[in-house]
Amino acid sequence: MKKFFTLILAVLLSGSLTALFGQAKPKIVFTKTEHNYGSFKESDGIQTASFEFTNQGTVPLILNNVSASCGCTAPEWTRQPVPPGGKGIIKLAYNPAGRPGAFSKTATVQSNAETPMVVLTISGRVEERVRTIAELYPREIGELRAERNHISFPTIRQTETRTEQLELVNDTDKPISVGFRQLPPHIKASVQPQTIPAKGKGMLSVVYDAKAANMFGFASHRIYLSLNGSNDYKSSIGVSATIEEDFSVLSPAELANAPVARFSTTSYDFGEMKQGDKKEYTFELVNNGKRDLIIRNIRSSCGCTAVSPSKKVIAPGETAPIKVVFDSTGKKGRQSKTVTVITNDPKNSTTTLRISTNIT
């Protein structure tokens, strides 16, 4: 019986020791978990910080992964198992390109250590580098440069005249005289000074007369510059405007008796159609107001969509069909097009009609 109890005790002791050693884990200890680069220039390029660690455990340490919080931070780390008492290293490389100002980024270290996740932090401040003229003024207009090659008048009333400006830069070693080859009749343009000195700047002013344009809705044009007498069509600037009718001049009585535009539906799906086929649908526009409804403009989003209003002036209570024909030639897959209808309804002057189809 005594031998039996001795055997049981030995088995229990052996199992306890096995469990004890089986639960042993490595211990990862860093010399630091934060690094501040201080202030450095963007032109200095990638900055790298090293984080050394020691395995103070009794079994090998394995780094499973090091993941950075930002794509601007690239991690490298010791891939081989680190034995007890051994050392390893993690390097975090920060790319400051296009990232001026203060920053703070982290990297999460995952391992088989008793502390399975450790967060490392890098921080600092990037001094913005001096940008080149080409970067500050990326658009080329002949030999001149500008921030953009387009001037926009997002919303302008039909009775307004408005001015927008664009800075022009001469980055060459010779002066450039600026004239104009073609200007739409409702647009005036000037440059001061007319001759922009070498490495100098000038200001382009564009005056848009919406009343003289005599249209409604979105309009786009181009103005062509003549640089030192050149006729190069590449020296041009786009001009766009969205012209709206001026309803602010209407009296309360006029608003109460104004036309009211209502569509029975504003969307239609043709379903499936074969490539090359044409299909049509007729939208119905009703004037629910007390005065004539006038269609100021109709514009489709694609040349594949033809629009034919039956009339431009719709009497009170009258309905006017607007036929839309979609041509699927050269198209495939799901298609969605729009037709913009602009009227003199002061409360709802713009309506967007939508057609869709699936071309097989």
Task: Of 126, 123, 122, 130, give the one whose Cα is nearest residue 100.
Answer: 126
- Say if residue 1's pLDDT is above 60: no
Q: Which of 94, 109, 127 is the last residue of a domain?
A: 127
- Say if residue 7's pLDDT is above 60: no
Tell me: do 150 and 232 sit in the same domain. Answer: yes
Q: What pLDDT does residue 129 have?
A: 82
Tell me: do 141 and 198 sit in the same domain. Answer: yes
Express each pLDDT in 62-79 by its tens digit: 999 999 999 999 999 999
Express each pLDDT in 141-189 by its tens digit: 999 999 999 999 999 999 999 999 999 999 999 999 999 988 999 999 9
Q: What pLDDT does residue 275 have?
A: 93
- For residue 42, give the amino acid letter: E
Which pLDDT band holds residue 98 (cuts at 50, 70, 90)? Answer: confident
- Say if residue 192's pLDDT is above 60: yes
| Domain presence at residue 3 | no
| Domain presence at residue 5 | no
Tell me: do 37 and 101 sit in the same domain. Answer: yes
Tell me: do 233 and 296 sit in the same domain. Answer: no
- For residue 358, give the amino acid letter: N
Tell me: do 337 and 276 sit in the same domain. Answer: yes
Tell me: do 116 and 171 sit in the same domain. Answer: no
Q: What is the mean pLDDT of the chain?
A: 91
- Say if residue 16's pLDDT is above 70: no
| Domain presence at residue 299 | yes
- Residue listed under structure tokens 């200007």: 183
Q: Which of 65, 95, 127 is the last residue of a domain?
A: 127
Count the domains in the chain: 3
Q: Give the tokens for residue 320.
A: 């006017």
- Say if residue 18's pLDDT is above 50: no
- Say if residue 97's pLDDT is above 60: yes
Tell me: do 137 and 233 sit in the same domain. Answer: yes
Range of the domain at 47: 28-127
| Domain presence at residue 10 | no
Which pLDDT band holds residue 13 (cuts at 50, 70, 90)? Answer: very low
The enclosing domain of 54 has a CATH number of 2.60.40.10
pTM: 0.67
Distance CA(35)–CA(47), nearest Å, equals 11
| Domain presence at residue 44 | yes
- In this structure, of 8-12, 62-66, 236-240, 336-340, the range with the lowest mean pLDDT score is 8-12
- Say if residue 216's pLDDT is above 80: yes
- Say if residue 4's pLDDT is above 70: no
